[in-house]
Structure 1
Amino acid sequence: MTRPGHRAPDGYDQAAFPPFAVTVDVVILTMRDGRLHVLLVRRDADPYAGAWALPGGFKRPDETLDEAARRELREETGVVAPKHLAQFGAYGDPDRDPRTNVVTVAYLAVTPEVGEIHADTDASEARLWPVADAVRGLTLAFDHRRILSDAVDRAADQLEQTDLATAFVGDTFALSELQNVYQELWRADIDSANFRRSLTTPPQNPAAFAAPEPENYVEPTGRRAKAGRKGGRPPELFRAGPAWQTQPPVRRPRRPPRDD
């Protein structure tokens, strides 16, 4: 059904305005071996043939931006978009793409496991890269280094404001896994004892005191992780508790970040 007033004005000349294209780019972050990683593809065609880039591409006229982001991620890498997929920025410098004037809408995606990765369409290779290596050591296509850096900064900020940290771990996790998320995104060393205390202490606010039972950030599952190759007692496994909806448990260290 046509919405009232949803039509071009009489005499509207589309050619009177300069054309531009719209693309989507997806920054998908995950933790692997205790380090923050990003999924990148190697471009198979010009511009920037052979360079690494964020998964993405042109939005089709008949799809929404969210649909385009999910499609491009799946087509280029074989990865199904995770639950946490959200816009975080738009980039429209007139010279950012040598083909034409292109505005890209950037998405941040977070997942504990990306699943099976395989390159397709206009990507010759797809793989996870440590974020630190990608930002400092790779020649990324277009303005993707800036977009990647902005995405990491956004994720780091959201650790203090939302429950984003829990999106990096599975349904059950060791506290050390969650601690690694904070340390990697904030590039800071966090004391393990203080971190554990922050997560096992209910939030100190009136809403929490009004609850019948204290709400916890983490709840023990009564199980332990599988024994590692180095031996020792396997770590206890937890699941996320309801207190994340009240306020995040950990404050960002107000000291210079580590240089790594």
Structure 2
Amino acid sequence: MSHPPFAVTVDLCVFTIRSGALNVLLVERGDDPFAGSWALPGGFIEPDEDATAAAARELVEETGVETGFHLEQLATYSQPDRDPRMRVVSIAHVAFAPDLPEPVAGSDAATARWWAVADLPIQGAESPAFERLAFDHAQILTDALERVRSKLEYTTLATSFVTAPFTLGELHRVYAAVWGTPPHRGTFIRKVLSTPGFVELAEAPTQRTSGVGRPPTAFYRSGPATHLHPALLRG
């Protein structure tokens, strides 16, 4: 039995925090379909690579950064009509890292930039910038956002959004940016410090001080723990 043309791609939800807000990387498509529309970066999986290798390659091509990412597979999206060109199955991935630079558009993109998640037309919200994302990328991005938010509840991956050494205040701002509302500060600090291996004390950089008359600021780095028991739940 013959089969119609079929392809497999990777799509990437790349998150970072900029100016205190959760941002995601989007590209403006230069070619049809959806030329001129904003979309998640990604591309077709090459014959000699698997999905993980393709996602890692696309990360480098779209951000210029080769190390420091947390990268994980999100889900597979396979609706028959999700791409008007042919049957295309996408293996979506989530990545996040601190202090990511301005992106460089790939070969099939007109431009690339960071967008504040709060400004995007996802989760039923309207955006003054554009009506929709290309393909089914609004659904992928909604799923990715929930994945990241939930992982901060039960894992220590929030430390992947900050550069060590960091303060507990900086870590608290990660939760506020990702969740959209800050956790209670006292409860948060008690949870972080009472969870073995969540963070470890680190030597403070000489240029960062608390100020005259204030106690020394404590600086931390991520510890060996990977999960929180019990979870740090959103309000």
The TM-score bracket by the shorter chain reads 0.7 to 0.9
Q: Could you tell me which residue of structure 1 aligns to residue 108 of structure 2? A: 122
2:221 to 239, 245, 253: 239
Which residue identity does 2:12 align to in structure 1? V
Change in CA separation of 1:232 and 1:93 when aligned onto 2, cut-off 3 Å: farther
1:196 aligns with 2:189: yes
The Cα RMSD (Å) is 2.6
Q: Distance in 2 between matches of 1:104 and 1:82?
A: 24
2:201 to 217, 220, 223: 220
Greater C-alpha radius of gyration: 1
SS at match of 1:159: helix
Name the count of aligned residue pairs. Answer: 225
SS at match of 2:134: coil
User: Unpaired runs of 5+ in structure 1?
Assistant: 1-14, 204-214, 256-260
SS at match of 1:21: strand
User: Unpaired runs of 5+ in structure 2?
Assistant: none
Change in CA separation of 1:198 and 1:103 when aligned onto 2, cut-off 3 Å: same
Matches within 5 A, 1:48-127: 48-80=34-66, 82-127=68-113
Runs of 4+ that moved beyond 4 A: 231-235
Scaled by the length of structure 2, the TM-score of the pair is: 0.84
- Once the two structures are TM-superposed, the CA of residue 76 in structure 1 deviates from its matched residue by 3.9
Change in CA separation of 1:69 and 1:128 when aligned onto 2, cut-off 3 Å: same
SS at match of 1:129: strand
Which residue identity does 1:217 align to in structure 2? F
- Once the two structures are TM-superposed, the CA of residue 163 in structure 1 deviates from its matched residue by 2.1
Q: Which has the higher contact order (CA 8 A, sep 6+)?
A: 2
SS at match of 1:16: coil
**Identical-pair percentage:** 45
Which residue identity does 2:222 align to in structure 1? A
